A and B are shown apart, each in its own frame.
Chain A
């Protein structure tokens, strides 16, 4: 990410179990923020604070070695979720939805 655009790293939920890692490097390939790097035959987390919890790494880890938060970092979705008691979801641009609010998903 460009300078000056780093979010709150302290809250990030991301764990890699290097015992389970088979070294396929899929996590390195899918991470949009270069959180992983290959360190020898296995992957390693090199920049946890840059993670945005998109969940792509955990989803694509065939060895199930990664646990990651997965959800949208969107205040609108989270507040709506809190108010309605449901999970925050990125539904604001869905044409299947009520279509009242459509902001982020351009």
Chain B
């Protein structure tokens, strides 16, 4: 990766033993904020990164603490914006522009990269102590005892969230239970929704095209029937993509496919009563929409902070077949019903 020159977050350089170490700002400016919004809307996902290596905040000395982070710019920004007034070092690992938790899962935020990066930046010469502060979620990829064996640096896992760092420092580098816990608040859940929506655009376009096609020969009733079908189907999709994440804790069930099923039922009831579904519509629409919503809810497991691989695998094995057959049968009924009389 090429070092990025003239970037907005570097405000100067500190000279140290003949080396120039970039100093970063602790304020996020306009371009940082616009960049974050673009990433959240999936407008520019790729290569939102900073150059891996060593950075300064303020005027750190040999005794100053070292914070290790990922080179995903959103992560780097979250960290530096919490460090105002603190003289310290930031060591950005090369995680290929991916956040700490995901990178740790893949191993790029890992033992090997940390050891390499310590040696590349000659951290032994920069600081006199042998202590590193890592984000707690990095523990998925880093084995603290192996880093110590290889480099002499002891790894201390700090808080999960960068926002807790000032409190963590103030309490003498001690974590309380709250700093350790991963959360999944309403705003955290909704933050990941726009990306999911943008990613689903092909699917949404396909659904609209299908609703258009099956009603193409409806003549005068085209408009009414098309809108009815499209609203019912899109409502089911939005229920899975937006309502399930938003109301996650309040929807019954632990399994996401079950939560999705309940949410679909609520939507189908509202749509059915609102439009005055015929018996045929009740059956076909339910068979199509319920598995769609349920699948989208299941797909949201990837964005959560608490689902296990064994649990999701179990759900998939139990639910996927039923979803598939229900969906196919519903689609067939939907098409066939268009040739009969409503």
Interface set of A (CB-CB < 8 Å, partner B): 1-8, 11-13, 26, 29-34, 50-56, 59-60, 62, 69-79, 82, 88-96, 99, 101-106
Contacts and interface: CB of A to CB of B under 8 A. Distances in A.
Contacts of A6: 254, 306
B310 A34 contact: no
A74 B303 CA distance: 7
A78 to B, nearest CB: 6
A1 B106 CA distance: 24
Contacts of A89: 106
B136 A12 contact: no
A12 B102 CA distance: 20
A8 B311 contact: yes
Interface of B: 39-40, 42, 45-47, 49, 74, 96-99, 101-102, 104-106, 136-137, 139-145, 157, 160, 175, 177, 180-185, 191-192, 195-196, 199, 248-250, 254-256, 298-299, 301-316, 320
A100 B303 CA distance: 17
A73 B106 contact: no
B22 to A, nearest CB: 22
Contact of B180 (A32, A71, A73): A32
A99 to B, nearest CB: 6
Which of A1, A6, A75 has the largest count of B CB atoms less than 10 A from its CB?
A75
A59 B111 CA distance: 10
B298 A75 contact: yes
21 contacts: A1-B181, A1-B182, A2-B185, A5-B248, A5-B249, A8-B254, A8-B315, A12-B310, A12-B311, A13-B310, A33-B182, A56-B139, A73-B302, A73-B306, A82-B316, A94-B106, A102-B45, A103-B192, A104-B303, A105-B101, A106-B192
Nearest to B141: A59
